[in-house]
A and B are shown apart, each in its own frame.
Chain A
Amino acid sequence: MSKAWKLMRVMVKMQLSMANKSSMEKFGYIMIGLMMIPFGLLILFFIQGIIGNMYAALEPIGNEGVILGLLFVMMTFIFCFTSIGTVLSSFYFAEDVESFISLPFQPYQILFGKSAVPFLSLYGLNTILLLPSLVFYGIHSGSGVLYYLLGFIVWALTPIIPFVLTAIVLMFIMRFANISKNKDRTKVLVGLLGFVFAIGINVLVRLDSGTGNAAEMLTQQNALLELVTKFFPTAYFSSIALTDIGSWTGLFYFLLFVALSLGAILLFLTVGQRFYFKGVLGLSGGKRSEFDEEKVQKHVKQQSILMSLWKKEIRIIFRTPTFFTQIVVQSLFFPVFLIIIMMLDPNGPLTGWGTQLNVIEGKKVILGMFGLTVVALGINPASFSSVSRDGKSWFNHLYLPIPASKVILSKLLVSFFMNFLSILLLSLAALIVLKVPFIIWFLWFVISLITGWIASIAGLIIDLYTPKLNWTDEREVFKGRFIGIVPLALEAAVFGVVILILWNSGLEGIWTVSSVLILVLLIITAITQYFLNRMVQQKYYKIL
């Protein structure tokens, strides 16, 4: 086991080390840290409010235990959901696996080491969400020292079972995925699991809650806890352990929970020992197939350099599992999710909601929608990875006779394309389901296209300024690079001011406001474009 610990230390160091980070990046982390403080306070405030309200409502009917049950179920969902992504990338997508496999380690030792980083992220969430919730509950119920002691142990063990369950399911899936012919495509599909999971949970909750509303269900004796037990018995155990303190039942469930958690770790390592290598060996990507002369000939055709560059970028994004999940899934997750949820529930509260927009003042509608668009398109992973994505193959652009402006334009068009896809999807939702009036949609559409273009430029400028080309694993392009939120922060600042000024200006009427807004956006586009051109001149040939 000491070997496993050592391995874990090396792996954690490699992934989280600050040593080779530039001072600019370190500064960025500090800034993020500072920005997180008010955010964290907000979360605390929020949690306190929810728990306080629920406690006040449920305590008179003696049903306050439901709060903890609900809390643990939610945490279980959250942990399962986040684990899908972190486990996949750490266990299977990270290319460093191969270098560890050639060393004399047991599968379970490698697995143990590889669990460290996913686990750390779970504990981060655990500390932000579960810890304060348990404390607030303790305060409201006036619990004694024993509650806090048991609560702490339960808190420490809660992430284990969801993590192990997810990891084991994924190990089985990957074991079979590994047999497939096109490994990369399979990885991409498995990467979509998180999405399926989110939708599945949504459907389950809907089916189960039927037509009744949550408040009604809360008052029904044990209805919720039953729901809990159905899917996640351990959540039930830990909530009983913390509500029935001092009774034999409480103690029993507490010990049961502890035993199950420890058992889960053993199960995880045992299953891992048998199945991990089966899933990971020979997984590293690429496609080999039967030779088909016609298919080869089909690719031979002449096209413009710009088109050729653009296709190359798109192919690389869609074929590289990490890029696909980080760029395509992330940009489209929200709109697709929204559409599916609305389609599953055609008579839901959102349907036809857009018709109410007619009542509201036109100016506010446009500015409000614009604000949402800025947030939705502001973080575009395709844009702030434009140059970094190329990694060690970047230099190929330098010796080929392709003007810098063309390469850059092709990259811009790729990130704009991603934005464009989400705008299209949102348009479908807006027009068909929400029934937003056509004119409002049209104005929003034009404004969003320009905003998307500006956001793409902003991300590209930042990436060109501090590109990360020396990666060995694609995840490094996204992970630990704070620059993703820099464009968003810049845009939020600039566009925020624009919105504020227009909101308070004397301008009235949807057409007037929209025209002024579009004019302002076009000016901003010209300015950012100018900065981009300058950045290209200064940096393009000097990145290496």
Chain B
Amino acid sequence: MIEINRISKSFAGKHAVKDLDLSVPDGKIFGFLGPNGAGKSTTIKMMTGILPIDEGSIIMNGIDVAKEPMKAKHQFGYVPDRSDIFLRLKGIEYLNFIADVFEVPKDIRKEKIEYLTKSFGIYEALNDHIQTYSHGMRQKIVVSGVLLHDPDVWILDEPLTGLDPKSSYTLKEMMRDHARRGKIVFFSTHVLEVVEQLCDEVAIINNGHVQFKGNMAEMRQQFKDDDNLEQLFLELTQNE
């Protein structure tokens, strides 16, 4: 369970996120939908402790993210939107580093690294520097790192962008599987279609405000009824 209580964040006096209120139940895939610049990444960065929260609070599985950051950070795994990870490390060195951070025992990490990277098709690239990876491969190594320590909560910022169809399918299956086990998957996207395929619950964010929250059926109804949302709907469906 993640509770986001009226959080705000501004950069140089301009609000990127304003009074955002959300609650994400267990066992659900939660889609965080919005056009570019809506405030998705900013919200996620506050959830993960990358940005300080200006106002409000975030409680993750009963732990206040701002008050007990170390404890909270053990709860989730995060896939950032940019693949600016440590590029000069080899893939395997990165994974081993993550495993050290989360104190994954040696035989488990060995088995998992092999299983995960093989299913993403990057096993044979593990000995190369991450710098030589394509965007999709970088995405995959980060996702492998997250799955390696098996956190309760997955937080993924535009995880499907740049993945090939096969890996995209694999990741979606893994997300469904995780939710089925009663855990949380929270991910952001700017593509409506992805939400429709994947999500149980959705929140639509625009200009730092939540415009809608509810399940899929409610969302479709709302798009028809609400003139404001219709414009947004167009933005989210064009291209891609």
Contact flag A403-B96 (CB < 8 Å), given A305-B101, A544-B50: no
**A542–B48 Cα gap in the complex (Å)?**
14
Contact flag A392-B49 (CB < 8 Å), given A288-B128, A401-B102: no
Q: B230 — which chain A residues lie within 8 A by C-beta?
A: none
Contact A399 B124 (CB under 8 A): no
Contact B50 A395 (CB under 8 A): yes
A305 to chain B, nearest CB (A): 6
**A303–B103 Cα gap in the complex (Å)?**
8
Q: A184 — which chain B residues lie within 8 A by C-beta?
A: 88, 129
Q: B128 — which chain A residues lie within 8 A by C-beta?
A: 286-289
Other than the given A302-B104, A308-B100, A395-B84, 7 more pairs (CB < 8 A) read A295-B127, A299-B92, A300-B110, A304-B100, A392-B82, A393-B84, A399-B80
Contact A315 B73 (CB under 8 A): no
Residues of chain B touching chain A, judged by Cβ–Cβ distance below 8 Å, are 45, 48-52, 69-70, 73-74, 78, 80, 82, 84-90, 92-93, 96-106, 109-110, 113, 124-129, 131-132
Q: Which of A292, A295, A398 contacts B50 (CB 8 A)?
A: A398
**A295–B91 Cα gap in the complex (Å)?**
12
Q: B51 — which chain A residues lie within 8 A by C-beta?
A: 544
Q: Which of B73, B89, B105 contacts A401 (CB 8 A)?
A: B73
Contact A316 B106 (CB under 8 A): no
Contact B70 A541 (CB under 8 A): no
Q: Which of B50, B97, B105, B132 contacts A399 (CB 8 A)?
A: B50
Tell me if A26 is interfacial: C-beta within 8 Å of chain B. no
Closest to B76 in A: A399
Contact flag A393-B96 (CB < 8 Å), given A285-B129, A287-B132, A399-B50: no
Contact B129 A319 (CB under 8 A): yes
Q: A542 — which chain B residues lie within 8 A by C-beta?
A: 52
Contact A315 B93 (CB under 8 A): yes
CB contacts under 8 Å to B, within A272-318, are: 284-289, 291-292, 295-297, 299-305, 307-308, 312, 315-316
Contact flag A296-B92 (CB < 8 Å), given A393-B87, A401-B70, A401-B74: yes
Contact B92 A319 (CB under 8 A): no
**A282–B236 Cα gap in the complex (Å)?**
38
Closest to A396 in B: B85
Contact A393 B86 (CB under 8 A): yes
Q: A399 — which chain B residues lie within 8 A by C-beta?
A: 48-50, 73, 78, 80
Contact A299 B90 (CB under 8 A): yes
Compute the total of residue contacts between A and B using a CB distance below 8 Å.
Answer: 113
Q: How many residues of A contact B (CB 8 A)?
A: 40
Q: Which of B80, B103, B132 contacts A395 (CB 8 A)?
A: B80
Q: Which of B78, B100, B125, B132 contacts A302 (CB 8 A)?
A: B100
10 closest Cβ pairs, A-B complex: A401-B73, A286-B131, A308-B100, A286-B132, A399-B48, A286-B129, A392-B84, A291-B124, A299-B92, A319-B88
Closest to A403 in B: B70
Q: A312 — which chain B residues lie within 8 A by C-beta?
A: 86, 89, 93, 97
Contact flag A302-B82 (CB < 8 Å), given A289-B127, A398-B48, A541-B52: no
Closest to A299 in B: B92
Q: B109 — which chain A residues lie within 8 A by C-beta?
A: 300, 302
Tell me if A525 is interfacial: C-beta within 8 Å of chain B. no
Contact flag A285-B131 (CB < 8 Å), given A392-B84, A398-B50, A399-B73: yes
**A286–B88 Cα gap in the complex (Å)?**
7
**A375–B106 Cα gap in the complex (Å)?**
45
Closest to A287 in B: B129
Residues of chain A touching chain B, judged by Cβ–Cβ distance below 8 Å, are 184, 284-289, 291-292, 295-297, 299-305, 307-308, 312, 315-316, 319-320, 391-393, 395-396, 398-403, 541-542, 544
Q: Which of A285, A297, A398, A401 contacts B101 (CB 8 A)?
A: A401
**A312–B92 Cα gap in the complex (Å)?**
12
Q: A307 — which chain B residues lie within 8 A by C-beta?
A: 100
Q: A291 — which chain B residues lie within 8 A by C-beta?
A: 124-127
Contact B84 A288 (CB under 8 A): no
**A-B contact list, 13 entries, CB within 8 Å:** A184-B129, A286-B129, A287-B129, A291-B124, A300-B92, A300-B109, A304-B100, A315-B93, A393-B84, A398-B50, A399-B78, A400-B101, A401-B102
B223 to chain A, nearest CB (A): 33
Q: B50 — which chain A residues lie within 8 A by C-beta?
A: 395, 398-399, 544
B207 to chain A, nearest CB (A): 22
B59 to chain A, nearest CB (A): 17
Contact A402 B101 (CB under 8 A): yes
B15 to chain A, nearest CB (A): 18
**A308–B104 Cα gap in the complex (Å)?**
13
B23 to chain A, nearest CB (A): 21
Closest to A391 in B: B84
Contact flag A320-B100 (CB < 8 Å), given A288-B132, A299-B93, A300-B113: no
**A115–B125 Cα gap in the complex (Å)?**
37
Most buried by A among B45, B52, B127: B127
**A301–B103 Cα gap in the complex (Å)?**
11
Contact A316 B70 (CB under 8 A): no
**A319–B93 Cα gap in the complex (Å)?**
13
Closest to B131 in A: A286
**A145–B89 Cα gap in the complex (Å)?**
62
A319 to chain B, nearest CB (A): 4
Closest to A291 in B: B124
Q: B98 — which chain A residues lie within 8 A by C-beta?
A: 400
Q: A315 — which chain B residues lie within 8 A by C-beta?
A: 88-89, 93
Q: B90 — which chain A residues lie within 8 A by C-beta?
A: 287, 299
Closest to A541 in B: B52
Contact B105 A302 (CB under 8 A): yes
Q: B93 — which chain A residues lie within 8 A by C-beta?
A: 299, 312, 315
**A296–B127 Cα gap in the complex (Å)?**
6
Contact A320 B106 (CB under 8 A): no
Contact B126 A296 (CB under 8 A): yes
**A300–B3 Cα gap in the complex (Å)?**
37
**A31–B96 Cα gap in the complex (Å)?**
46
**A175–B73 Cα gap in the complex (Å)?**
48
Most buried by B among A284, A295, A398: A398
Closest to A307 in B: B100
Closest to B87 in A: A393
Contact B73 A400 (CB under 8 A): yes
Closest to A393 in B: B84
